Amino acid sequence: MPALTMEQVLTLDAHQVYTVEPKRTLFTLERIRKEFFQEELGELMQGITEASSKAAAISHLSKKYAQFIAMQFYMLTAYDEIWDGNERDLQFDVTEVNGVFTVCMFANPNDWRYVQEGDRASVMKWVLWKQCYEIIQALRNTTSISPKVLWDNLFVQLTITYAKLLEDPMLADRAMDDLEMLESAEVGSIFTDHSLYLDYTKGRAPQDLVGQPIRKSCCLSKDIPGVGECGYCPLAN
């Protein structure tokens, strides 16, 4: 597996996906799947964020995790690489950002692998199924929260990521190809009868959606002290 370049490490760092060993590990991606841990996870995140509800705390966690997922698609487009580590090695720890406590992720820099051109669709399906759908189902077990909230959290990050990729003249063509693949029935309908991401964007360009109130649900950030207003909320004035 390829070791990451400094440029790749800095890109991941900017999205709070770090490639060093954490000082401690609160939990791992593998642990999120464990039924015995899921109720504890809601309480843990509520304590970290001081959210007024478990739902708001879990939504916040999913927004942070969505940054890791978005980085999967970024790395695929920009470097033909994907994370291929064990879920016990994707670690979460508490951190403080602008005076607000949150969580960040730690991944081994050697856990990325190259993706062959003919494997891109199958890799996208794998990420959507194993890392998105199954983890969202696990997070829903922690408290009463709509799946729309969790999927919207992911799609906002994907939209921001593809908007950046499409603005880069060196990556725009590859980004458009990957975006069309993600929105295709072949890839996007792996666990439903249509592409959920295409349903979210309605085929509009990511650049036209950034900062617009196109969510179908509120992310509940209003229920977490110190967290800024979400620019995508359907409840925005």
Full 3-state SS string of 44-104: HHHHHHCCCCHHHHHHHHHHHHHHHHHHHHHHHHHHCEEECCCHHHCEEEEEEECCEEEEE
The pTM of the full predicted model, rounded to 2 decimals, is 0.94
Structure confidence at residue 164 (pLDDT): 96
pLDDT, tens only, 127-171:
999 999 999 999 999 999 999 999 999 999 999 999 999 999 999
Q: Tokens in use for 217?
A: 């649900």
Q: In angstroms, rounded to a whole number, what is the distance separating the alpha carbons of residues 181 and 186?
A: 8
77-86, 180-189, 224-233: range with highest mean pLDDT: 77-86
Render pLDDT for 41-54 as a digit per residue (tens, 0 to 9).
999 999 999 999 99
**Closest by alpha carbon to 151, among 72, 62, 224, 82?**
62
The pLDDT-based confidence of 189 (bands split at 50, 70, 90) is: low
Packing angle, helices 54-79 and 6-14, rounded to 10: 160
- Residue ranges of alpha helices (H) inside the chain are 6-14, 29-32, 35-49, 54-79, 120-126, 134-140, 147-167, 172-182, 185-188, 196-201, 206-209
pLDDT at 2 over 80: no
